[in-house]
């Protein structure tokens, strides 16, 4: 015996979270037990509410509430001719914060990864094809996938798949990070930055 049973159980629940080891789980459980009972109930209710109220948008597979399409798909301010393909909803929020992209999204919910047994059928690709066939106004698809092995495999797969269907298929550019130091930049990125160089005007 180390802790009372309800505490041990709570620690085990925390351990199921990614990046939370034994020590962190203990720390979190102890901290939470030091809260007011009301605060703990608030936390638990937040969790249950999120689990019950959130569903996927039937168009783009972003999170949505209230049963219908998400607030991006239903917005009249978005450009319906451009669809940005992303791996997960987290990337959607990151892109939205740039205020650069005004089109719609399509969330794949993963990347092709044969090592993990994830193929095209495990992603929202059938749904993408279906969506493109229903919306002839879509004339550009932007592939905004991370330049990892899985991201590159998925970009390649989708490029080949969509080529016959969509006029313009683009991907995000490679290059130097803003505020970065050329001396600290890895050679591959630097090579890509040369390759993608633009004329000064």
Which residue's CB is nearer to a copy of itself, number 108 or number 141?
A: 108
Which residue's CB is nearer to a copy of itself, number 18 or number 179?
A: 18
We find the least distance from the C-beta atom of residue 128 to a copy of itself, in angstroms, to be 20
Which residue's CB is nearer to a copy of itself, number 57 or number 128?
A: 57
3-state secondary structure the chain: CCCCHHHHHHHHHHHCCCCCCHHHHHHHHHHHHCCCHHHHHHHHHHHHHHHHHEEECCCCCCEEECCCCCCCCCCCCCCCCEEEEECCHHHHHHHHCCCCCCCEEEECCCCCEHHHCECHHHCCHHHHHHHHHHCCCCCEEEECCCCCHHHHHHHHHHHHHHCCCCCEEEECCCCCCCCCCHHHCCHHHHHHHHHCCCCCC
We find the least distance from the C-beta atom of residue 20 to a copy of itself, in angstroms, to be 8
We find the least distance from the C-beta atom of residue 110 to a copy of itself, in angstroms, to be 11
Kindly list the residues in this chain that would bind a copy of itself in the complex (CB under 8 A). 1-7, 9-10, 12-13, 16-20, 24, 26-33, 37, 39-54, 63-65, 70-71, 88-90, 93, 96-97
We find the least distance from the C-beta atom of residue 131 to a copy of itself, in angstroms, to be 20
Which residue's CB is nearer to a copy of itself, number 60 or number 169?
A: 60
């Amino acid at each position: 015996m180390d802790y009372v049973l309800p505490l041990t159980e709570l620690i085990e629940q925390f351990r199921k979270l990614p990046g939370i080891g034994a020590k962190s789980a203990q720390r979190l459980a102890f901290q939470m037990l030091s809260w007011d009972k009301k605060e703990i109930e608030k936390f638990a209710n937040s969790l249950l509410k999120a689990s019950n109220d959130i569903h996927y948008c039937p168009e783009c597979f972003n999170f949505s509430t209230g049963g219908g399409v998400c607030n991006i798909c239903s917005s009249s301010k978005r450009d319906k001719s451009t669809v940005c393909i992303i791996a997960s909803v987290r990337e959607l929020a990151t892109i939205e914060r740039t205020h650069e992209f005004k089109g719609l999204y399509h969330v794949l919910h993963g990347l092709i990864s044969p090592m993990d047994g994830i193929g095209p059928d495990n992603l929202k690709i059938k749904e993408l094809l279906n969506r493109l066939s229903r919306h002839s106004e879509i004339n550009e698809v932007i592939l905004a996938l991370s330049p990892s092995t899985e991201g590159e495999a998925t970009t390649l797969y989708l490029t080949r798949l969509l080529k016959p269907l969509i006029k313009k298929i683009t991907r995000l550019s490679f290059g130097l990070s803003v505020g970065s130091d050329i001396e600290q930049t890895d050679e591959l990125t630097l090579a890509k930055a040369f390759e993608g160089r633009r004329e000064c005007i």
